A and B are shown apart, each in its own frame.
Chain A
Amino acid sequence: MENLGIDSKLLIAQLINFGLFFFVFKKYLSKPFLKFIKSEKEGSEEREKLLLKAKSMDEKMVEKEKALLATMKKQSDAQIQEAKNAAAKIKVQLLEEAEKEINELKVRAKKQLVQEQTEMQKDAKQKINELSFMIVNSVLKEVLTTEMKKKISDSIISNSAKSITFDEN
């Protein structure tokens, strides 16, 4: 063995050393070490479980948030649509009212125009009437000679002979 470079004493000493180490390790260190490893392992598993749970909760929360967002979007879309419909309805109503008002104004204006036209025509006729009589009066005054006036006077008094009565002044 010496030829192979192995020192038997050293080997024995190392074996004893190993044996002592094994004995001490098994007797005093292995249990707490194993316990520590076990507790570490359990802790790790627990953390993993918690992590998984948290992940799952997170996913659930994300899903819930997504669902909530979707619901909110749906609701807001519905509200926007409802507002649009209401606005369209109000627009149509306002347009109808404006059209109705315009028509009423048109009718009223037309009526007023006709009335004013009638009044103007009546006024014009009366003015023409007055003017005609003024012209007749002035022409008669200018044109009639005394002889003609006498004839007219005779004619008036002869025609009125039966109906001549005195009126109170």
Chain B
Amino acid sequence: MKISSLMKEELKKHFLAKLKQRNDEVTIVSAYPLSSSEIEGIKKIVPDLKLSKINNEVDEKLIAGYIIRKGSKMIDLSLQQRLAKLQQLSHEAL
């Protein structure tokens, strides 16, 4: 079965729009629910987030700090990750 060029074009547009939407959306995972002022504070520190739509997810495993996800990219600023790094260093030192 052949796909017509028009349909191809439509599909391309659709997926690009979806990708743009996904890239514009940012998820901040935190150990507790964030207030809007806290989200604004984070936006000030991370300039890439200024024009993005922010979602907040809560995951108590983080203990403290944040994980910021944008599309396929991620910044891990959680206390859990710091502790894991420290544990790794300590493990290597033994």
Contacts and interface: CB of A to CB of B under 8 A. Distances in A.
Interface in B44-76: 45-46, 48, 60, 63-66, 68-70, 72-76
Given A129-B91, A156-B82, A169 B73 contact: yes
Given A125-B94, A137-B80, A153 B64 contact: yes
Contacts of B60: 141
A156 B65 contact: yes
A166 B69 CA distance: 8
Contacts, number: 84
A167 interface: yes
A141 B63 contact: yes
A168 B72 contact: yes
A168 to B, nearest CB: 6
A157 B65 contact: yes
Contact of B91 (A126, A164, A166): A126
Given A158-B45, A168-B72, A137 B77 contact: no
A54 interface: no
A125 B92 CA distance: 11
A146 B58 CA distance: 12
A137 B64 contact: no
Interface residues of B, number: 33
Nearest to A137: B83
Nearest to B46: A164
A154 B72 CA distance: 25
Contact of B74 (A146, A157, A166): A166
A156 B48 contact: no
A129 B64 contact: no
Interface of B: 30-32, 38, 41-42, 45-46, 48, 60, 63-66, 68-70, 72-80, 82-83, 86-87, 90-91, 94
Instruction: Name the 8 nearest CB pairs between A and B, nearest first.
Output: A166-B73, A152-B64, A149-B64, A133-B87, A156-B65, A169-B74, A169-B72, A125-B94
Interface of A: 122, 125-126, 129-130, 133, 136-137, 140-141, 144, 146, 148-150, 152-154, 156-158, 160-161, 164-169
